[in-house]
Chain A
Amino acid sequence: EVQLLESGGGLVQPGGSLRLSCAASGFTFSSYAMSWVRQAPGKGLEWVSAISGSGSSTYYADSVKGRFTISRDKSKNTLYLQMNSLRAEDTAVYYCALYDGYYYYMDVWGKGTTVTVSS
């Protein structure tokens, strides 16, 4: 069974840093592109970042470009999101997801991890 499990969320002060992890199982990790999507409290879904299966290509939403870094570790079957210079507006549930590289839909999602940026 394909599974994604996020961790690393928590409370952080504005300007601080946090690293999210997404542990993957049940599939060949390096064969699939992956993405981070967030959802602020009571709001809709916002795409944050994506990475190719090999890790050679990365993509970011303008709202996080220059502050967040996506990466993946094939040896650990884990996806990461390093978040720096955090702002109150980064407060959200962060989901990792697999996406299909042909039709570009996200068909497997983790349960999410909550990030709260507040003093």
Chain B
Amino acid sequence: EIVLTQSPGTLSLSPGERATLSCRASQSVSSSYLAWYQQKPGQAPRLLIYGASSRATGIPDRFSGSGSGTDFTLTISRLEPEDFAVYYCQQYGDSPLFTFGPGTKVDIK
């Protein structure tokens, strides 16, 4: 079973700053099967990135994903007020079919 670890647990930044979120897998993950989601309080998750680096429809270009193997990164180039949320990485595998990381909370400094 592949375990995803996200760091940091909480990231305190100001609007306009750059956010770098890490997702590390316990075993190598196909880049095709790594996705990132944003979740705000009381809302369902929203797909941001799939295939490690492809932006989902309607996602602003300040969001970017990169990485391969066991290390993946979500970068928000300049934080907007609406970007303060929790971010999850997710991978697809054999068993379990899907695994989510524990999340990184980006809050306002």
Residues of A within 8 A of B (CB): 35, 37, 44-47, 50, 59, 61-62, 95, 99-100, 102-107, 109-112
Interchain CA distance A102-B103 in the complex, whole Å: 24
CA distance A37 to B103 in the complex (A): 15
Q: A37-B98, A103-B50 given; name 18 further pairs at CB < 8 Å.
A: A37-B100, A44-B102, A45-B37, A45-B39, A45-B90, A47-B97, A50-B97, A50-B98, A61-B96, A103-B33, A103-B54, A105-B50, A105-B56, A106-B37, A106-B45, A106-B98, A107-B47, A107-B56
How far, in whole Å, are A50 and B35 apart by their CA atoms in the complex?
17
Residues of B within 8 A of A (CB): 32-33, 35, 37, 39, 43-47, 50-51, 54, 56-57, 88, 90, 92, 96-103
Check if B98 sits within 8 Å of A44, measured CB to CB.
no
Contact among B33, B43, B96 for A62, CB-based, below 8 A = B96
Whole-angstrom distance between the alpha carbons of A102 and B33 in the complex?
Answer: 9
The answer to whether A45 and B50 touch across the interface, beta carbons within 8 angstroms, is no
Query: A45–B51 contact, CB under 8 A?
Result: no
The answer on a CB contact under 8 Å between A103 and B32 is: yes
Bound-complex Cα distance A59 to B10 (A): 32
Q: How far is the CA of A15 from the CA of B43 in the complex (A)?
A: 29
- A47 and B44 within 8 A (CB): no
